[in-house]
Chains A and B, each alone.
Chain A
Amino acid sequence: MPRPHVALLLALAAAYGVSHFPGGLDPYLLDVLTGIGINIILAVSLNLVNGYTGQFSLGHAGFMSVGAYLSSAVSLFVAPKLVGELSAAGEVTQGAVFLAALITGGFCAALAGLFVGVPSLRLRGDYLALVTLGFGEIIRVIFQNVEILGGALGLNAIPGSTTLTWVLAVAAVTVFVVHCLVDSTYGRGFLATRDDEIAAAAVGLNPTRYKIVAFVVAAFFAGVAGGLYAHFKLTITPTGFDFTRSIEIVVMVILGGMGNAVGVILAAVLLTVLPEVLRPIAEYRMILYSLLLVLLMLLRPQGLFNFPARRPRG
């Protein structure tokens, strides 16, 4: 069996094992671990766009919100009509409904990604940042004004289907998909597009198509992450997915060293844990957090976990 598949199976088994942890985990720890898992999904998927393909998307929270809202809508409005009261249904039915909700959220986010990506990815550089930034704001305003999705109050009483097992399993799948896509002859096209679009086209690659694929795949996983987040927090509001959330994810990617898978995962862990560790000094927390970011960028602009000369496999 190919190595990535072995790793994926081991990770899935580990995720399953977590749910059988003797005595269960401390709720606070569970909370932090779930946050880490969701951030890994977001950062690793954004790394495909901002890291490997070299585009600059600032709209990841927007795609996350599409997934969060649409998957919640499935759980709240569609599922009860199909399978009756969720709490009365069996464990397998609940799991299937949740999976369907997550995938629906992912696909809707991917569709939004296609919708935003096709016109804007023909452009180069900064334009994409602006368009995705605009998209994030537009989607927030839309959710604020759609009454059926709760308007400014958001959605409440979303079933708490998200477990640590779900989060870790999706994180494992995200890492697997992004790794396998990039680590192939096909995937060299993402990197080639990043390094030189004109040269990429000159060897027969279609840079626009590569950018769209990266964008849509990333949006899909952001949508799934949004679904996990919604079914974890049980309540979502449009403002929970604003610009600063997108920036947080971008920072993880930059800090991990653009296009460095392991680094981005570690950065996602670090940036989730850091605010928690700094909790005792509550009022100075954000100042210190920002200061650390500035320092890290000054001292290691290539990314915290980017080390030179990893020999590529032939």
Chain B
Amino acid sequence: MAELLRLEQATIRFGGLTAVNAVDFAVNEGELCGLIGPNGAGKTTVFNLITGVYAPTSGRISFGGRDLRGLGVDGIVGLGIARTFQNIRLFGSLSVLDNVRAACNLHRATAPGHALLRLGAFRRDEAAIVARANELLEIFNLGRFRDAPARSLPYGEQRRLEIVRCLATRPRLLLLDEPAAGMNPTEKTELIRLIQQVRRQFNLSILLVEHSMRVVMGCCERIAVLDYGVKIAEGTPDQIRTDPKVIEAYLGEDHGSSLAHH
């Protein structure tokens, strides 16, 4: 299995606070990895480092062998890393279809000027994009909401749409930031199925930040555990479940009990 994403001694400091401290971690091609840790452990900060929202204070992050430093958020998406947000960020006033269309711009075949000329090439390009967006929406059962403003969608559908929007950028690695937040057990089961479907059907690697042990243990092949910005463990779900350091980190938190139950 080829290595896709690699963090080497990735570190970021905000003033006196070291939010992520010398983290080494890799995601292989086609792998489904989890990143867990107590609240404030630095999981989302790791996402922000990978996606270029923050530049690491020191250390190196590379994707497919290429250093990501200085590429900018949109440049990194262009390389094939897409993400969702902990607090869903859709284009609320745009229709469901337009949310996906906006994300298709990376693979637009015609230059912006074509929007004025509207020659054959432009119309074919637009038709192909709309067809592709519709196809994605159908795969994830969002077709019936096509013309509705994204903000009017039920919560679960908004989560799904955010994932569909990611897929429209044709990623090789998908970063999911707490996709199960606010979901009930039935919805979580549904989500695990969705994540596995996405990986299979779109042939990608997934890195999952999640609080719900059920979701992480239920679908990840490898899990890394962060605590106070430091990676304290890495391994298969079974290894993580019994790791004394992990149990200690979670002790006193709600998740300590949910971990022990597994």
Q: A180-B115, A186-B112, A203-B165 are in contact. Are A195 and B106 (CB under 8 A)?
A: no
- Interface size class for chain B? 35 or more
* Residue B236 lies at the interface, judged by CB distance under 8 Å to chain A: no
Q: Would you call B73 and A189 a contact (CB within 8 A)? A: no
Across the interface, B118 reaches (CB within 8 A) one of A180, A191, A202, A213, namely: A180
- Write the A252-288 contact mask toward B (1 if CB under 8 angstroms, else 0): 0000000000000000000000000000000000000
Q: Would you call B91 and A312 a contact (CB within 8 A)? A: no
Q: Would you call A311 and B147 a contact (CB within 8 A)? A: yes
Q: Would you call A191 and B74 a contact (CB within 8 A)? A: no
Q: Would you call B73 and A202 a contact (CB within 8 A)? A: yes
Within 8 A of B (CB), among A167-218: 177, 180-181, 183-189, 191-192, 194-196, 198-206, 213
B108 to chain A, nearest CB (A): 6
Within 8 A of A (CB), among B131-152: 134, 146-147
Q: Would you call A205 and B74 a contact (CB within 8 A)? A: yes
Across the interface, A195 reaches (CB within 8 A) one of B94, B108, B115, B130, namely: B94
Residues of B within 8 A of A84 (CB): none
Q: Would you call B123 and A185 a contact (CB within 8 A)? A: no
Interface SS, B side? helix
Q: What CA separation (Å) do A280 and B93 show in the bound complex?
A: 43
Q: What CA separation (Å) do A232 and B87 show in the bound complex?
A: 53
Q: Would you call B77 and A204 a contact (CB within 8 A)? A: yes
Q: A196-B89, A199-B91, A202-B89 are in contact. Are A185 and B77 (CB under 8 A)?
A: no
Q: Would you call A191 and B94 a contact (CB within 8 A)? A: yes
B134 to chain A, nearest CB (A): 8
Q: A185-B104, A189-B102, A314-B146 are in contact. Are A201 and B118 (CB under 8 A)?
A: no
* Residue A240 lies at the interface, judged by CB distance under 8 Å to chain B: no
A49 to chain B, nearest CB (A): 16
B161 to chain A, nearest CB (A): 11
Q: What CA separation (Å) do A188 and B78 show in the bound complex?
A: 18
Q: Which partner residue on chain A sits nearest B88 by CB separation?
A: A199
Q: A203-B165, A204-B106, A205-B74 are in contact. Are A314 and B97 (CB under 8 A)?
A: yes
Residues of B within 8 A of A198 (CB): 53, 85, 89
Q: Would you call A188 and B98 a contact (CB within 8 A)? A: yes
Q: Would you call B102 and A188 a contact (CB within 8 A)? A: yes
* Residue A233 lies at the interface, judged by CB distance under 8 Å to chain B: no
Q: What CA separation (Å) do A185 and B108 show in the bound complex?
A: 8
* Residue B20 lies at the interface, judged by CB distance under 8 Å to chain A: no
Q: Would you call B51 and A312 a contact (CB within 8 A)? A: no
Q: What CA separation (Å) do A314 and B95 show in the bound complex?
A: 10
B153 to chain A, nearest CB (A): 14
* Residue A5 lies at the interface, judged by CB distance under 8 Å to chain B: yes
Q: What CA separation (Å) do A199 and B86 show in the bound complex?
A: 12
Q: Would you call B105 and A199 a contact (CB within 8 A)? A: no
Q: What CA separation (Å) do A188 and B150 show in the bound complex?
A: 14
Q: What CA separation (Å) do A196 and B116 show in the bound complex?
A: 25
Q: What CA separation (Å) do A189 and B85 show in the bound complex?
A: 19
Q: Which partner residue on chain B sits nearest A183 by CB separation?
A: B115
* Residue B231 lies at the interface, judged by CB distance under 8 Å to chain A: no
Q: Would you call B98 and A191 a contact (CB within 8 A)? A: yes
Q: What CA separation (Å) do A200 and B105 show in the bound complex?
A: 11
Q: Would you call A191 and B102 a contact (CB within 8 A)? A: yes
* Residue A301 lies at the interface, judged by CB distance under 8 Å to chain B: no
Q: Which partner residue on chain B sits nearest A259 by CB separation?
A: B93
* Residue A2 lies at the interface, judged by CB distance under 8 Å to chain B: yes
Q: Would you call A202 and B105 a contact (CB within 8 A)? A: no
Q: What CA separation (Å) do A192 and B114 show in the bound complex?
A: 20
Q: What CA separation (Å) do A205 and B93 show in the bound complex?
A: 17
* Residue B195 lies at the interface, judged by CB distance under 8 Å to chain A: no
Best-surrounded residue of B118, B129, B166 (most CB of chain A within 10 A): B118
Q: A198-B53, A312-B98 are in contact. List 15 more A-B contacts (CB 8 A).
A: A180-B118, A185-B108, A185-B129, A188-B105, A191-B94, A196-B92, A198-B85, A201-B74, A202-B51, A202-B85, A204-B103, A205-B102, A205-B105, A312-B97, A314-B130
List the 5 closest pairs (A to B, CB-CB), nearest first: A204-B77, A203-B103, A184-B115, A199-B89, A195-B91
17 A–B contacts from the bound complex (CB under 8 Å): A5-B118, A185-B104, A186-B112, A186-B115, A192-B91, A192-B94, A199-B89, A199-B91, A200-B91, A202-B73, A202-B85, A203-B102, A203-B106, A203-B165, A203-B168, A213-B112, A312-B95
